[in-house]
């Protein structure tokens, strides 16, 4: 049963990485289109959101790597709990970056 959960977790984590990359792409495009046209403070907010999105992407990749390692290594309860904790941290971080990125792009 744990193996099925971790396999599903890998797929979901990879999909969440894709969402984070979409937000990162939107932020990069927004930053480049606004460069030189608006105040430096506003650009700094978009740049900060971009960095946060990049960190969330890396967190998601770490989740995929950890879960894959769990499968290859043959498991273990502590290792299994670590994969779940990292996955749910990634899930919360993706929601946070989605809200923050949207607010920075649409509500600027």
Q: Where are any strands of DSSP class E within 15-67?
A: none
Domain count, the chain: 1
pLDDT of residue 48: 87
pTM, two decimals, is 0.84
Q: What is the pLDDT of residue 66?
A: 93
Task: Spell out the long-range contacts of 67-72 with Cβ–Cβ below 8 A and sequence spacing 24 or more.
Answer: 67/6, 67/9, 67/10, 67/13, 68/10, 70/6, 71/3, 71/6, 71/7, 71/10
Confidence (pLDDT) at 108: 62
Local confidence pLDDT in tens for the 108 residues of the chain: 889 999 999 999 999 999 889 888 988 998 898 888 888 877 888 888 889 899 999 999 999 999 999 999 988 899 899 999 999 999 999 898 888 877 777 776
Task: Give residue 92's domain range.
Answer: 2-106
């Amino acid at each position: 049963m744990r193996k099925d959960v971790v396999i599903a977790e890998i797929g979901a984590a990879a999909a969440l990485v894709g969402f984070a990359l979409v937000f990162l792409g939107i932020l990069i495009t927004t930053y480049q289109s606004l460069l030189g046209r608006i105040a430096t403070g506003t650009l700094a907010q978009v740049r900060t959101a971009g960095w946060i999105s990049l960190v969330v992407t890396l967190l998601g990749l770490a989740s995929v790597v950890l879960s894959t390692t769990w499968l290859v290594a043959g498991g273990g309860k502590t290792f299994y709990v670590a994969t779940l904790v990292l996955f749910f941290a990634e899930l919360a971080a993706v929601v946070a970056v989605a809200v923050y990125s949207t607010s920075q792009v649409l509500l600027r």
